[in-house]
Amino acid sequence: MTWVLDNLDLIGTLALDHLRQSVVAIVAGFLLSLPLGWVAWRYRLLRGWVITVTGLLYTIPSLALLMILPVVAGYPATSETNLVIALTIYAVAIMVRAVTDGLDSIDPAVRRAATAVGYGDGRRFWAVDLPLAGPVILAGLRVTAVSTISLATVGILVGVTNLGYLFTNGLQRRIVAEVLAGIVAVAVIALVIDLLLMVAGRWLMPWARRTAGRRAARTAEAAS
């Protein structure tokens, strides 16, 4: 406990670094997944391919990805860019499936009705498909956010400083309180972001609480 009180500044600085790295990756992953998920959903032939490739990304150990990417792309392993890109790749691996599943969960009759009342493809996507897929996509985004924040700690093993520093440093100096403080800080950040996403979802999609989409979203969220 004394260790924590003596090092609040350090924990705060690391937490800010951690938050910045994770949030950039979560947002980038989300933005990339929307078109990718849509393509996978719209074109049956591409679907298996996209799902297989994103599934493959999943099996790469993060530690290896953090080492290999800089060698291939030519930036230093210790740069924040390296960690953010690796985290974005994992975020995409989760989110593409969530976007595809979300678009799948829409009743085709609703889509035909939208077309019948004169919605073009583009307008229908933004005004009908995306909002209705929202609850499932949000469930995927929440899982992505929490796991990105907790995974980011691995960055310290290639020299990207964030809350993971408290783990390696705590192990070397054998300070249990330091490691514990790191775990608690990561968990708190993850749960706060998760809560914010949930609140944002309720505010943006008030209908989701009452309709069938909710059940689908809950199943997706639950079964993750």
The site for other proteins (CB under 8 A) is made up of: 55-56, 58-65, 67-68, 71-72, 90, 93-94, 97-98, 100-101, 104, 139-140, 143, 146-151, 153-154, 157-158, 163-164, 166-168, 170-171, 174, 176, 179-180, 182-183, 186-187, 190-191, 194, 216, 219-224
C-alpha 166/C-alpha 9 separation (Å) is 13
Looking at the Cβ atoms of 32 and 179, the one nearer to other proteins is 179
- Supply the minimum distance, in Å, between the C-beta of residue 13 and other proteins: 18
Looking at the Cβ atoms of 123 and 173, the one nearer to other proteins is 173
Looking at the Cβ atoms of 80 and 221, the one nearer to other proteins is 221
- Supply the minimum distance, in Å, between the C-beta of residue 32 and other proteins: 16
Query: Closest by alpha carbon to 80, among 23, 193, 159?
Result: 159
Residues 86, 65: contact at Cβ < 8 Å? yes
One-letter identity of residue 164: G
Quickly list DSSP for 18-56: HHHHHHHHHHHHHHHHHHHHHHHHH-HHHHHHHHHHHHH
Query: What phi and psi, each to the nearest 5 degrees, are found at residue 135?
Result: -60, -40
Looking at the Cβ atoms of 39 and 60, the one nearer to other proteins is 60
